[in-house]
Chains A and B, each alone.
Chain A
Amino acid sequence: MCQLSGKILFLLIIFSLILGLADFALSGQGMVETTIIISICGNNVIDEGEVCDGTDLAGKTCQDFGYTHGNLACSPACDAFNISGCYTPPSPPPGGGGGGAPPAETKVIFSGRAYPERKVTLLKDAQISATTVAGPDAKFYISLSGLSAGNYNFSLYTEDNRNERSSLLTFPIYVTAGVTTHVSGIFISPTIDVDKSEVKKGDVIVIFGQSTAESEITIIVSSEEEIFLKASTDKDGVYLYNFDTVPLSMGQHHTKSRSAIEGEVSPYSKTVGFLVGTKNVLKEKPGILLGDLNRDGRINLVDFSIAAYWYRRSLSSAMKEIECERLNCDGKINLVDFSIMAYYWTG
């Protein structure tokens, strides 16, 4: 009996040790430590396990793949060569002039859904690089060419029928020379707003916004338990929901929405807040745009430059007022203010 207990104890310790170690390994601690030495794709240096990396092509050219012209590239995962930029021009006809295929263009094509007949803006590395207007079905298409190979941060946003902007949808993309990159299935999040900044408990608050035409909108209202509401957009992409506040407790609440159509689902919208209290207060359209330091309705390089000028300097009284109104009101310009600006950025 004593021997059996000893055996059980020994086995328990071994088994627990194995499980404990497995847990430790699964927790990712080891992985964090190794990230400093594992090979990285995108640093233009071939590391262990990589076939190529960015501009480092291990001395290979298109000629090594049987082509006479063009630019060899590396796949985004650094595991293969990309020969789509290689070509062999056709032989010139006897007695005729030269010719041949032009070198492949480096471009990125964006397509997806926005709001019907509303302007869609594309930012490339934080600056406006293209705009277009979505069709009546809310679909849009933007083609951007003349790019160099490298990492880009592309962002898209649209504006609704009240000129409210959607959230920025961002795509970090590695663009390969001579390759057309397609970014399809983009679904810009809906806009959302409420008609009251404070609603009397038990009264109705109207939640509304715009998305793609004839889509299903899921509205989430924060409460002790989240409340899920369903609405539909009309042919103009507009939705509206009269929400009875009976189930909500007194205090601050938030709501956000997302859109779905034909199996595609958008990201969540921005979040808007409202107070459930003892009276109804209509929400005024905010005249203040956070991050807009020069009050021109845009948050761009000009605002960035103004903030950068005052970065870590003591603010003038006029600037203090602006900082309080349009940034985080802590009496100084620091990284937090720039983060707010980056969130509301319009280009």
Chain B
Amino acid sequence: MVKTESKLQFNIQNYFKSFKFLFVVFSFSLLIFILIPAKPIIAAEFFFKTEREEIGIGDEVRINLLFSSNQNINAFEGKLIFPSDLLDLRDIQDGNTIINLWIEKPKAEENEIIFSGITPGGFKGENGLIFSAFFRSKKEGTAVFSIEQASALLHDGIGTAAELSVVDLQLLIKEEAEVIPVDRAPDTNPPEPFTPEIARDSNLFEGEWFLVFATQDKDSGIAYYAIHESRRKKEANQISPKDWTETESPYVLQDQELRSYIYVKAVDRAGNERIEVIEPEYPVNWYEIWWIWGIIVIIGLVIIYIVRRFLWK
């Protein structure tokens, strides 16, 4: 009987010991769980994506600069740095970009590509393409791509800087690696329709009339814009290639009297074209066209001749 009691007491002691043990473990773990701060989720991030992380010498590679954010961002800028001793920059494409308006269209300068632009309404999401850059490798080595002076501003009406991180990319260039050409999808679609607008402002071009325009191409991106002004209405295919003036927005109009038809051509990198036409604000009247007067004079002279030659008699 005594023995049984003692055994029972021992079991109870064990039970309390194990309970105490569990309690201590649980409390301690809870404390650690609370005290070790969870790393904050990155608000916005520039990062790269490539199909291959190892290429051969003379190989072409596409590097996509991407952006993800869990906050609404409406302005972006930065400088993509690449090793120009290892790689030649062949092309930059901004088709399908999340940037609606470029302040500085991606442009190469030695070993960097500068870019800045805005997205009215903002962008919030993952894997938004900023632009693609195509490189050809020159020699063996490890190419590191990074972004400097990166900035992303919140869509909050005051341009607050978002918490931003940049993830670099390493690309291995090896002599023995297989050379695989980059697969570029064919672009057969013209750029998107757009509406150029004529404007005038005392703070720009000394108050002269200018034209603004912008569009996007969802495949290869816009290569360039060209403009043709004419007081005579034409079919777009009647305009000779030499009569197009390659330009950028804003464009100061040659015809400051706004009496010309304005043809604006957007051409993508595959050569597809979209032409938009703006009717003249003050069209030329028929009596202001010299050749109509020329015809009238000729007809008049013919009539006079006929009258004098045949009817006068």
Q: Which positions in A face B, CB cutoff 8 Å?
A: 4, 8, 11-12, 15-16, 19-20, 23-24, 26-29, 32-33, 35-37, 40-45, 47, 54-56, 123-128, 146-151, 153, 155, 168-170, 172, 270, 290, 293-294, 300-302, 304-306, 308-311, 316, 318-319, 322, 328, 335-345, 347
Contacts and interface: CB of A to CB of B under 8 A. Distances in A.
A148 B192 contact: yes
Interface string B140-157: 000000000001011111
A172 B100 CA distance: 11
Give the residue among A23, A26, A302, A335 with the most B Cβ atoms within 10 A.
Answer: A335
Given A28-B39, A339-B75, A345-B121, A309 B214 contact: no
Interface stretch (B29-37, B80-88, B233-241): B29-37
B47 A35 contact: yes
A338 B75 contact: yes
Contacts of A308: 103, 250
Contacts of B97: 151
A54 B187 CA distance: 13
B212 interface: yes
B165 interface: yes
B172 interface: no
B39 to A, nearest CB: 4
Contacts of A168: 120-122
Contact of B199 (A47, A290, A302, A322): A302
Given A23-B33, A306-B204, A340-B157, 4 more contacts: A12-B25, A126-B214, A146-B193, A305-B249
A335 B129 contact: no
B218 A148 contact: yes
B125 A172 contact: yes
Q: Which 4 pairs between the two chains have the least Cβ-Cβ distance?
A: A150-B218, A170-B121, A345-B120, A339-B159
17 contacts: A12-B28, A15-B25, A15-B29, A16-B28, A24-B39, A36-B49, A42-B127, A124-B192, A126-B120, A168-B120, A172-B98, A302-B197, A306-B201, A335-B103, A335-B116, A342-B120, A343-B74
Contacts of A126: 100-101, 119-121, 214
B119 A150 contact: no
A132 B199 CA distance: 25
B158 A150 contact: no
A123 B192 CA distance: 13
Nearest to A301: B212
Contact of B29 (A16, A128, A148, A310): A16
Given A172-B128, A301-B212, A43 B36 contact: no
A125 B49 CA distance: 24
B225 interface: no
A342 B216 contact: no
Nearest to A345: B120
A42 B170 CA distance: 22
A146 B192 CA distance: 9
A340 B101 contact: no
B36 A23 contact: yes
Nearest to B75: A339
B305 interface: no
A41 B154 CA distance: 25
A136 B250 CA distance: 41
Contact of B121 (A23, A149, A342): A342
Contacts of B116: 335, 338
Contact of B127 (A43, A170, A310, A316): A43
A126 B195 CA distance: 12
Contact of A301 (B75, B101, B219): B101
Chain B interface mostly helix, strand, loop or mixed? mixed
A29 B153 contact: no
Contacts of A345: 120-121
A346 to B, nearest CB: 9
Contacts of A23: 32-33, 36, 38
Contacts of B95: 150
Residue with the greatest number of chain A CB neighbours at <10 A, chosen from B39, B51, B167: B39
B77 A335 contact: yes
A82 to B, nearest CB: 17
B81 to A, nearest CB: 16
B258 interface: no
Contact of A336 (B48, B121, B155, B159): B159
Contact of B49 (A43, A153, A342): A43
Nearest to A57: B185
Contact of A319 (B68, B151, B203): B203
A332 B65 CA distance: 28
A55 B98 contact: no
B118 interface: yes
Contacts of B98: 151, 153, 172
B123 interface: yes
B119 A19 contact: no
Interface string B147-183: 0000101111111000001010100000000000001
A339 B193 contact: no
Nearest to A156: B121
B218 A342 contact: no
A149 B188 CA distance: 11
B6 interface: no
A37 B249 CA distance: 37
A55 B51 CA distance: 15
B118 to A, nearest CB: 4
Given A151-B96, A305-B250, A336-B159, A322 B120 contact: no
A125 B192 contact: yes
Nearest to B48: A36
B165 A40 contact: no
Given A172-B128, A301-B249, A35 B167 contact: yes
B121 A155 contact: yes
Nearest to A316: B203
A123 B121 CA distance: 10
